[in-house]
Amino acid sequence: MGSKDMITWDQKGSFISPGVSKPVFAPRPVSVKFCVFAVKPSKDRYPVGTFTAGGTVPVANVAKLTALIEGAPAAKPCTLRHTRFAVVTVQPMNQDVYVELDGCHRLLTNRPQTLLAPAPSIVGLLQAR
C-alpha cells in the first residue's frame, strides 16, 4: 500500500497557497486516524511513500492535536527532506492533513493546500498503537 507524498507533490507543482487559511477543520474533529509512510530518496518528481504503520489518536488527545494544528502559523522556508510522513484523516468530513514526521516537521492542509509551521509535538501524538 502506498500514498503520494503530497507535501513534495504540491511543492513541486506549486499548488500550495502562500497564506494560511483558518480554521483548518470545519466542523471540529471527533476522531482521528493516521497512516505512516516511508519515502526513499528518489529522482522521481512525485514520490510515493510505502505504508509502514497506522493507528488512531486516542479520543482524549483529539482536542490537543486539533489545537496544535489550528494554532500553527505559516511555515518558513526549509530545505530539509523528510523520509517519513503521515496522512492524518479526521472525521467528520474525511478531512486530511499531511505531516512530515522528520525533516522540517511541516503540516500540509488540504482545504486549501497551505504549509504550516513545524510542529514536532504533533509527531508524538501520531504513534502506532
Beta bridge partners of 97: 88, 109
Tell me which residue has cell 505531516: 99
pTM: 0.86
Q: Between 118 and 94, whose confidence is greater?
A: 94
Position 57 scores a pLDDT of: 93
Answer whether residue 124 shows pLDDT above 90: no
E strand segments, 23-66? 31-38, 48-57
pLDDT digits (tens, 9 = 90+) for 17-53: 766 778 888 888 999 999 999 998 777 777 889 999 9
Position 123 scores a pLDDT of: 84
Arithmetic mean of pLDDT, 53-74: 91
